[in-house]
Structure 1
Amino acid sequence: MKKVIILITLVFTQISIAQSNESVHLWPNNVPNEIEPKQEHEISDNKKNKVIRYSKVTNPDFLVFEPIKSIRSRAAIIVCPGGAYNVLSTNLEGSEVAQWFNSLGYMAFVLNYRVPQKQLGALNDIQRAIRIIRNDAEKYNIDPDKIGVIGFSAGGSLVARASTQFTIESYDKTDEADKLSCRPDFSMLVYPAYLDHGENNTLTPEITVTKDTPPFFIFGSATDVKYRHSCTVMAAALYENNVPVDVHIIQEGGHGFGLRPGNKAAKMWPLLAEDWLEKILE
């Protein structure tokens, strides 16, 4: 009976957390590089593997996930779901990951960037989100110099772009927050995609790594046949520019596993990521 009561309590706690997440829209007026009007996020009819997918986002926002216990190192992580830039796997690679970060004591924000196929808009959105969160660091009780990003699949592509294009003004300034830096302080890629679109599977040309690129954590699997080179070419570019990087490529795992049980890779990356975060944030 005690176990049942605990389980019910946990379920209601999770529901309460899900219902109380603050939504912060990124653009108070016009959305840059967007021709469609603002509207509620559209949910796809595809519910395969119990994944909730946003199939259309025109009014991008981020959801705030606060840890129950005190914030570790006062660091925060912006979570970027994947979905081939066509959809956003908003629970598998969004809220579930944010709640895991919360369990470690970190503040987390899930970014609902623009889809489908709005890569420039997505870059606008992540740059703007970093600036808003940095501007509101006191409100969220976080260190403005410890704001990181994590991306899965296409979200990993977006994180790599944001982590190497922070000197590019991809949109016109709208307010005081836009005067702040949009450079992430650390970056994490889990089974990233689209980073090997250069000639002969080399690094995608728009991703230019320099000595100012933030430190990276990269995780993938050898059985992720379609996207596995994204991990290696990004890691090589970071090595060549003396940017700190921890890269882990395990044999089995495939793609799109998130934190779901039953996959060894899904069990391994959080352990490695937790250890890496403790080291870089100490």
Structure 2
Amino acid sequence: MNLQSFYIGDYHAEVTMMLGEGEPSKDGRPAVVICPGGSYMYCSKRESEPVAYRFLEKGYRVFILNYSTIGTMIEKEGRTPSRDELYQIASMVEDDKVLGSEFPNPLIELALTLVFIRENCHEFNVNPDKIGVIGFSAGGHLAASLGVHWNSEWLKEAVGSEPRWFRPNFQVLSYPILNYVLNEEIANERGIGDPKFMSMAARMVFGAEQKPEIVERSIVKDFVNEDTPPTFVWHTLQDKLVFIQNSIEFVEALENNRVPWEFHTFNSGEHGLSLASEITGRVDKRAQQWNGLMFSWLEEIIH
């Protein structure tokens, strides 16, 4: 196993590169960048390495992006706080404190990761035309943001590279939060929202001041276009943290723009299932089928 890590961007994002074993492929192997969830407060371990090993089994080169959050900031200083402790710390962040998780910084970090992979594709034995992203929950928002904004002028200027260098060839969105405004509205309507948590999450994503243009850019369905990459989405009806309407409205936008898509819904399953298997600690026999469905879809899309 060729395992390396490096920092990317201006804050504290770290990329873990897993290239696996085996003979080099003549045309290069497909690659995927994993964006774990964690409410933009931390990067979930359950949605990182277990997922990476599944892709390695299928011959992919794998890059785990631990994008900048208050959690990665603390870890860079040499300490890994518990989730409860992290929530306490996040609730006390000063308004003028820059955490690195504020939109669009993680998006820039993701774009720079794809640029790095393509610039070194021969060394990594990666096919530059088969590089995609997979994101979970908040990481799904990050992945989808690249999928819809990759060819925008503002992101081109922020990244400092031509868009073709950071265009994803496919995207996989796992119980993604794609519209923070919609998600909060639904939570309030159903009386199940936690105002303190939602306020804290908004601080992580948008900063202390929620500028209208930034909030608008974060609603990814409004920016779907014919250049959005083929998309695989899965979600559960029983998700009470990120509601399935996030995925439904995004898939409708894909269909309206004739972007290839596949969408799987499962009745049972709480938020944050990851692989939904014993290895990730939350088991749902039906929902765990998403993994096999995704790989069969990928075979059709990129092979």
TM-score, length basis structure 1: 0.75
Instruction: Note the alpha carbon deviations across 1:157-197, whole angstroms, 9 max, x for none.
Output: 0011010011234375787xx34531101000011114363
Equivalent of 1:131 in 85, 104, 115: 115
**What is the SS of the residue equivalent to 1:151?**
strand
1:62 maps to 15
Q: What do you get for the CA RMSD once the two structures are aligned?
A: 2.3
Amino acid paired to 1:182: F
In structure 2, what is the Cα distance between the partners aligned to 1:268 and 1:217? 13
In structure 1, what is the Cα distance between the partners aligned to 2:17 and 2:287? 23
**What is the SS of the residue equivalent to 2:250?**
helix
1:134 deviates by 1.1
Instruction: Note the alpha carbon deviations across 1:202-226, whole angstroms, 9 max, x for none.
Output: xx84220000110000011111133
**What is the SS of the residue equivalent to 1:243?**
coil
Asked if residue 21 in structure 1 is aligned to residue 39 in structure 2, the reply is no
Instruction: Note the alpha carbon deviations across 1:28-53, whole angstroms, 9 max, x for none.
Output: xxx1xxxxxxxxxxxxxxxxxxxxxx
Asked if residue 245 in structure 1 is aligned to residue 245 in structure 2, the reply is no
Native 8 Å contact 1:84 1:153 kept in 2: yes
2:200 maps to none
Identity of aligned residues (%): 30
**What is the SS of the residue equivalent to 1:88?**
coil
2:33 maps to 78
Q: 4+ residue runs of structure 1 moved beyond 4 angstroms?
A: 70-73, 171-175, 198-201
Asked if residue 88 in structure 1 is aligned to residue 88 in structure 2, the reply is no
Native 8 Å contact 2:150 2:156 kept in 1: no
Amino acid paired to 1:95: E
In structure 2, what is the Cα distance between the partners aligned to 1:212 and 1:95? 30
Query: Which stretch of structure 1 is more off in the superposition, 262-271 or 103-112?
Result: 262-271
1:213 maps to 228
Asked if residue 189 in structure 1 is aligned to residue 187 in structure 2, the reply is no
Gaps of 5+ in 1: 1-16, 32-57
Cα distance, 1:71–1:225 mapped onto 2, change above 3 Å? farther
Native 8 Å contact 1:149 1:186 kept in 2: yes
Cα distance, 1:136–1:229 mapped onto 2, change above 3 Å? same
**What is the SS of the residue equivalent to 2:175?**
strand
In structure 2, what is the Cα distance between the partners aligned to 1:71 and 1:193? 37
Instruction: Note the alpha carbon deviations across 1:69-91, whole angstroms, 9 max, x for none.
Output: 457871100000000011110x2
2:51 maps to 97
Native 8 Å contact 1:80 1:110 kept in 2: yes
Instruction: Note the alpha carbon deviations across 1:98-123, whole angstroms, 9 max, x for none.
Output: 11100111111000111134232101
Query: Which stretch of structure 1 is more off in the superposition, 179-188 or 165-174?
Result: 165-174
**What is the SS of the residue equivalent to 2:245?**
helix
Asked if residue 141 in structure 1 is aligned to residue 125 in structure 2, the reply is yes
In structure 2, what is the Cα distance between the partners aligned to 1:174 and 1:128? 7
Equivalent of 2:155 in 159, 170, 173: 170
Asked if residue 269 in structure 1 is aligned to residue 254 in structure 2, the reply is no
1:257 deviates by 1.2
In structure 2, what is the Cα distance between the partners aligned to 1:244 and 1:104? 22
In structure 2, what is the Cα distance between the partners aligned to 1:165 and 1:106? 25
1:256 maps to 272
Native 8 Å contact 1:74 1:106 kept in 2: yes
In structure 1, what is the Cα distance between the partners aligned to 2:158 and 2:216? 26
Native 8 Å contact 1:154 1:192 kept in 2: yes
Amino acid paired to 2:58: L
1:231 deviates by 1.2
2:145 maps to 161
TM-score, length basis structure 2: 0.70
Query: Which stretch of structure 1 is more off in the superposition, 121-130 or 63-72?
Result: 63-72
Query: Which stretch of structure 1 is more off in the superposition, 158-167 or 179-188?
Result: 179-188
Aligned residues: 230
Amino acid paired to 2:4: E
Query: Which structure carries more helix by proportion?
Result: 2
